[in-house]
Structure 1
Amino acid sequence: MSDLPVPSARRLQKPGWRDARLVVGLVLVLASVALGSVVVSSADDRTPVYAARGPLVPGRPLSADDLTRVDVQLGSRTNQYLPADSGLAPGRFVLREVGEGELVPRVAVGSREQVGVQPLVLSVDAGSVATLTVGSRVDVYVNPVDPAATGATKFTGPELALAGVSVGGLPKAAGGLSGGAGGDRPVQVMAPSSRIKDIIGQVDAGARVTLVAVPGGTAEADQ
C-alpha cells in the first residue's frame, strides 16, 4: 500500500500595492472623503439676506427693526433679494408689499423719490374695519352723493376707486376708541399719489367710503 501524498500549506502573502483589491478599496475611501467634503461645503454655501419681521407696507420708511437676517441657499436667485451682509443702507423706503416672514426682494426697496403712494386717511364704517390689520389689502369703493336728488340724501352708486391697496395704519377714533359695532372709524390706506386729489374731492362732497378686504389679504383670512 503506497503512501498518500501530503499537501503542502501555502504561506499567506502580505497584500502589496499591486493587489487589485487594495487599489479598489483605496479608491473607494478617497472617493468617500471627497464626496463628504463636497456635501459639507455645499451645506455651508448659504447667503445672508433680509426677511420681513412684520408686514412691510408700500410708502413706509424701512429700518433695521423691520427686518431679520436669514441664511438661505438660493443659487442663482440670491441676487434677487436684499442682502444682509453689509447692513441696510440709509434712506430706504418700501416700494411694494412684503408679507411677514417673506424674503425681501431688491425691487421692493428704493429711495423716497421712487415711492408712488401716500398715506390717505378715510372715515369708513367700523364694521368693515373689524378684520383688518396693518398690511391688509383692501378695495376702496366711493359712493358719491346724487346732485339731482332732493330732500333726503341719495347716492349715485358705489364706484371702485382703489384696488388692492395696503392698510398703512388703524388710527384710534375720536375719544381714544378703537372702533366698535357702529359709527365710523378712520383707516389709513397707502393710495397712489395720482388718485388722492380726486378721492379727497369726492369725500368732501359727501361721498360715502367703504372698504372691502381682498380675498387672502387679511390676517384673519390667513389663519
Structure 2
Amino acid sequence: MGVSTVAGGARLKKPSWKDPRLLVGILLVLASAAGVISLVGAADQTTEAYAAREPIAVGETLTADKLNRVKVRLGDVEQLYLTPETGLAEGLVAVQRIGKDQLVPRDSTGRIDLLDRKQVAVTVDEALPAQAVAGSSVDVWVALPDTRNGFSQPALLLPGAEIAQITPGSTALGSARSTVVMVLVSDSQMPGLLGAQANKAKISVVWNPGGTSR
C-alpha cells in the first residue's frame, strides 16, 4: 500500500522547467507556429505585374500605355510574366495574341524580326460565322477564276489560321458589305495566299473549332 502511494505520488509530480522533455516540447510548438506564420506570410505576398488594357494583336508593339499594373500572387511563376520591376524592353512586340485584362506571359513577347507570322488582309464577301472573332481560328478556302467566267472548285489554302482583327470593308453599289479579315500567315504560306489574291480568287473562311492546322 505504501509502495503504491509513493509510485502514484511520483507520477503526479509537477514537471520542472529544467526537464529536457518539457523544453523539447516547447521548442517543437514554437517551430510549428513559426512555420505556419511563414507559410501564411508567403501566401499573402503580392507583386506587381503587367496586364493588357485591351486585346493586343500579334505584331503590335508593347508600350506602358497599353498595359495596367495589377497586384497578383504569382509565387514561383513570377519569372514567367512581365512585371514593372523587370520593365519593358524597347521594341518589344506581341508574338501571340494577349487578351484584355490578361497577364502578359514572357513567351508571348519578342522582337519584331523573330515573328514567324504576319498579318494579311483577306476580303470576304459572305457573312462570317458568329464564332469567327479575333483570336479564333478559321480555315481559308480559295476558288480561282476559271475560263468560263466562273470559279474553280474551292481548295483549302490556310488550315487553322488565327484571326488577328476583323473590320468592315467597302460596300459596292448593289452588293452587300464585305468584311476584311486580318489573318496571321507564315512565310511559307505567304506565296500561296498572295498568288490567290493577285489572281482575283474568291476567298471564304470557315470556322475551325479545333484551332490547329492540319
TM over 0.5: yes
Residues 35 and 48 of structure 1, relative CA distance in 2, 3 Å threshold:
same
Residue 182 of structure 2 is aligned with which of 188, 202, 219?
Answer: 188
Give runs of aligned pairs for residues 127-206 of structure 1, distance below 5 A: 127-128=127-128, 130-146=130-146, 149-150=147-148, 152-155=149-152, 157-174=153-170, 182-206=176-200
Give the structure with the larger strand fraction: 2
Shift of the alpha carbon at 1:74? 4.5
Helix, strand or coil at the partner of 1:37: helix
Shift of the alpha carbon at 1:109? 0.7
* 103-112 vs 40-49, greater mean Cα deviation: 40-49
Shift of the alpha carbon at 1:166? 2.6
Q: Which residue of 2 aligns with 1:27?
A: 27
Residues 17 and 207 of structure 1, relative CA distance in 2, 3 Å threshold:
same
Residues 66 and 133 of structure 1, relative CA distance in 2, 3 Å threshold:
farther
**Does 2:74 correspond to 1:73?**
yes
Q: Which residue of 2 aligns with 1:117?
A: 117
Contact 1:59 1:190 in 2 (8 A): no
Alignment partners' CA distance in 1, 2:66 and 2:141: 31
Instruction: Give the share of equivalent positions with the same residue, in percent.
Output: 32
- Normalising by structure 2, what TM-score? 0.72
**Unaligned ranges ≥5, structure 1:** 1-9, 176-180, 218-223
Q: Which residue of 1 aligns with 2:5?
A: none
Write the letter of the residue equivalent to 1:56: I
Number of aligned residues: 198
Helix, strand or coil at the partner of 2:190: helix
Residues 9-35 of structure 1: per-residue CA shift (max 9 Å, x gap): x9x988641357853663354134312
Shift of the alpha carbon at 1:200? 2.5
Shift of the alpha carbon at 1:120? 1.4
Residues 88 and 57 of structure 1, relative CA distance in 2, 3 Å threshold:
same
Helix, strand or coil at the partner of 2:127: helix
Shift of the alpha carbon at 1:159? 2.2
Alignment partners' CA distance in 1, 2:93 and 2:38: 40
Contact 2:157 2:192 in 1 (8 A): no
**Unaligned ranges ≥5, structure 2:** 1-8
Rg larger for = 1
